Copies of this chain bind each other. A is one copy, B any other.
Amino acid sequence: MELTFSAKAKKIDDGMRVETTTRDFTLLIDEPPALGGTDTGMTPVEAVICALGACQTIVAFAFAEAQGIDLRGFHVTVDADLNTDGFFGKDPNVRNGFTEVRYEMHFEGPHSQEEFEKFAAYIEAHCPVGDIIANPTPIIRTGVVVHN
């Protein structure tokens, strides 16, 4: 089944505060002062790693029973490196996005290390946001609308 998700982003005042909305939900994004913001919300790249952790968590609970796992608790920590020399144009060989993303999964339940490692690999292979980060996705500008 093909689903289409939609979002809107709009700068809401001076500084760098951006209100993003999708359906009835809102997420305020900001930058730290060093990047012109007022640090009132997470940055866009932090929102991406929050989404990754949430996606892995949901996949874990959605598929645990079918994978024979009695999952009594789960959390995940995510770290991601970004070299700002790309974004600030100091080094054309450095990309703008993350150079690496790492995560550590914590499981609670009556299973062995080996069983949870196998389940961790299953989660990794079924996580939509993990797929979006790990693999290329076509991203297309459909229009530029000018309001004079």
Hey, which bits of chain A sit against chain B, CB under 8 A? 1-11, 16, 18, 20-23, 25, 27, 29, 31, 35-37, 41-58, 61-62, 73-87, 95-113, 116-117, 120-121, 124, 126-148
- Contact of A148 with B55 in the complex, beta carbons under 8 Å: no
- Which residues of chain B are within 8 angstroms of A132 by Cβ–Cβ distance? 45, 48, 97-98, 132-133
Count of identical protomers in the assembly? 2
Q: Cβ of A145 and Cβ of B8 under 8 Å apart?
A: no
Residue ID in chain B nearest A103 by CB atoms:
B141
Q: Is the CB of A27 within 8 A of B47?
A: yes
A146:B57 contact, CB within 8 angstroms: no
Closest A-B pairs by Cβ, 7 of them: A9-B53, A97-B131, A20-B50, A44-B55, A29-B54, A47-B51, A97-B132
